[in-house]
Amino acid sequence: MADDSVSKDVRKASASGAPKKKSALSELFAPVAGFGVSFSTMFRKVATEEYPEKPRPTAPRFHGRHQLNRHPDGLEKCVGCELCAWACPADAILVEGADNDDTPGGAGRFSPGERYGRVYQINYLRCIFCGLCIEACPTRALTMTNFYELADNDRGKLIFTKDQLLAPLQEGMLPPPFPMADGMEERDYYQGKVTAATDSQRTYVDARDASEDAEAHAAAHDSDASGNVGAALPGEHDVVHATHPTAAATREGANP
């Protein structure tokens, strides 16, 4: 008796779960139902972005091209510590630090403190825009902008150098090298006590530029006297050198 009751339950379950036969009308309109979804979307508003004619604005914290920031007087915030290069998981950053030299005849001062970033390169063929370099920077010298149009058909142009990454001079800033503000130390810069370039710094930069202009004028006069003048087309000269410098010799800190 127990076996008979079990078999009856199995038959009832199989009968209830058996697929029902579709009607001929539903089978006829089944293919049309799929086209109905496509047809209904034809009258909706188009969500296509008209790029690059109308680029969409990015989020405020978007990870775009990097930027090396400056202090309010124009000195660079980067101290050449290379922590950003160590934190980069893609090995896309190359940094070479150097000492600030305020002695007469020295290279000058480019940042507060002892060192500055002499060479700074970012290879955007490797960069994954993760932002770990920003977190590692102890002086807040490196940040990321909202600029993202970095595509190019030349691989060499995607290795950005320091002159491309350095923030432009704003109002009240001076182009380094020049001494720190009078009576200020390195920590005073990062505490926000320096708000703009001082009069003594402006006087130093004006004297430096005047001296460089005089030296350039004297060098041009000497070259004219020796007869080594430039040709009519830029880049061509009347003196042809037997050897040409290699890329490593002409581009400071270039990747191999």
Q: Which residues are annotated as a binding site for [4Fe-4S] cluster?
A: 78, 81, 84, 88, 127, 130, 133, 137
Q: What angle do CA 92, 98, 103 make, to 5 degrees?
A: 160
State the amino acid at position 113 in one-letter form: G
Contacts with 126 (C-beta within 8 Å, 6 or more apart), sequence order: 90, 91, 92
End-to-end CA distance of the chain: 88
In 155-251 the beta strands, taken as DSSP E runs, fall at 159-160
| DSSP 8-state assignment for residue 76 | B
Count the Cβ atoms, other than its own, within 10 Å of residue 61.
Answer: 8
In the chain the beta strands, taken as DSSP E runs, fall at 66-68, 93-99, 115-123, 142-144, 159-160
Element (H, E) at 47: none
Secondary structure (DSSP) of 79-111: ----HHHHH-TT--EEEEEEE-B-STTS-B-SS
Contacts with 108 (C-beta within 8 Å, 6 or more apart), sequence order: 100, 101, 102, 176, 177, 178
Could you list the residues known to form a binding site, using ranges. Answer: 78, 81, 84, 88, 127, 130, 133, 137
